[in-house]
């Protein structure tokens, strides 16, 4: 099926036509997740890492009212420079950003939608969204979780963002039947750190095993994605106590300023970077690249199966 608003880059379209491995990449991390020029540098390094592992990168965003699957270097530069001026775009926002011909940085949820429209099954990001701390009062729950329950895309991540309520996030995923698979670990990673104290549903140790599980899940007609939880490399993992102190301070500061909704996570990540003197930013870069490399390997194995 062709969509008038969908624009698939020629190299991505050709790879998909030939059943070659393709990895989707999000754009919120460019516009809202890191400062310029780190954001552009990291995005380009992620694309290079995908290619190094024999797959084709497809960074996704809305540009000039077009749902672009595979961005140019100029697109990435524009998103990085414009930063928070670019609309953070989740499921509810897609139609309206497209209709007005604007730009949108895609979240995990909207990147999954773009990947599904193009026929891409593997997606790499930093961390998924989830249930925010204090959600019992605020009901602040990311649309990423619902998208994982309904859309057939595997998301390779370093767990959920550490600023979230990880226990409730895992409970929500369980309720909606989303498998959480640890790559070479029995414990759910906590973004900046390798451990959270919570277990994953299953441990798989090779990209081949992950690809096989994906193939079987979707061949049986079981709808929805899979969370592939890939711990941050040991060399870049942060101290759990110091991270938690920074998170609590950042949340306190956000509350004091009345920051809510879409603006909350970008604010918290930026504030944590300040409080950790940039260490969290370096950890973020390392975990994203680690996830991208694993996603490319899974994509290669998955393509071989199909």
Residue 138: pLDDT over 80? no
Q: Please tell me the distance from the alpha carbon of residue 155 to that of residue 109, in angstroms, as a whole number.
A: 10
Distance CA 120, CA 298 (A): 12
- Among 76, 97, 226, 244, which Cα is nearest to 150's? 226
* 161 tagged catalytic: yes
Three-state secondary structure call for residue 67: strand
Helix axes 279-305, 38-52, angle to 10 degrees: 30
H helix or E strand, kind and range, residue 45: helix 38-52
The 10s digit of each residue's pLDDT in 178-214 is: 999 999 999 999 999 999 999 999 999 999 999 999 9
What is the domain partition of the chain in residue ranges?
6-305
Which backbone phi and psi does 259 adopt, to 5 degrees? -85, 125
- Band of the pLDDT at 2, cuts 50, 70, 90? low
pTM summary value: 0.94
Task: Give the tens place of pLDDT for each residue, 271-293.
Answer: 999 999 999 999 999 999 999 99
Q: Which of 161, 273, 285, 301 is catalytic?
A: 161
Of residues 26, 47, 273, 301, which has the active-site annotation?
26
pLDDT digits (tens, 9 = 90+) for 51-93: 999 999 999 999 999 999 999 999 999 999 999 999 999 999 9
Peptide bond into 37 cis (omega under 30): yes
The question of whether 174 is a catalytic residue gets the answer: no
Name the CATH superfamily housing domain 6-305.
Answer: Indigoidine synthase domain (3.40.1790.10)
């Amino acid at each position: 099926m062709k969509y008038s608003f969908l624009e698939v880059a020629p190299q991505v379209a050709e790879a998909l036509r030939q059943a070659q491995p393709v990895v989707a990449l999000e754009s919120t991390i460019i516009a809202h997740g890191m400062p310029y020029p780190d954001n552009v540098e990291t995005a380009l390094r992620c694309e290079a890492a995908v290619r190094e592992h024999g797959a084709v990168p497809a960074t996704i965003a809305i540009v000039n009212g077009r749902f672009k699957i595979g961005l140019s270097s100029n697109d990435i530069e524009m998103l990085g420079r414009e930063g928070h001026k670019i609309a953070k775009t989740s499921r509810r926002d897609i139609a309206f950003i497209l209709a007005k011909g604007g730009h949108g940085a895609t979240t995990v949820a909207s990147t999954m939608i773009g990947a599904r429209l193009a026929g891409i099954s593997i997606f790499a990001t930093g961390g998924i969204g989830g249930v925010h701390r204090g959600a019992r009062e605020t009901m602040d729950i990311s649309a990423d979780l619902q998208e994982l329950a309904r859309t057939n895309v595997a998301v390779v991540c370093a767990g959920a963002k550490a600023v979230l309520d990880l226990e409730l996030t895992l409970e929500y995923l369980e309720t909606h039947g989303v498998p959480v698979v640890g790559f070479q670990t029995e414990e759910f990673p906590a973004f900046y750190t390798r451990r959270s104290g919570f277990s994953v549903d299953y441990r798989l140790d090779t990209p081949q095993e992950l690809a096989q599980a994906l193939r079987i899940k979707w061949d049986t007609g079981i709808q929805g994605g899979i969370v592939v939880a890939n711990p941050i490399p040991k060399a870049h993992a942060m101290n759990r106590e110091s991270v938690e102190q920074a998170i609590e301070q950042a949340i306190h500061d956000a509350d004091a300023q009345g920051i809510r909704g879409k603006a909350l996570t970008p604010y918290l990540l930026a504030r944590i970077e300040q409080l950790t003197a940039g260490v969290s930013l370096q950890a973020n870069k390392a975990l994203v690249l680690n996830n991208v490399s694993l996603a490319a390997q899974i994509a290669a194995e998955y393509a071989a199966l199909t």
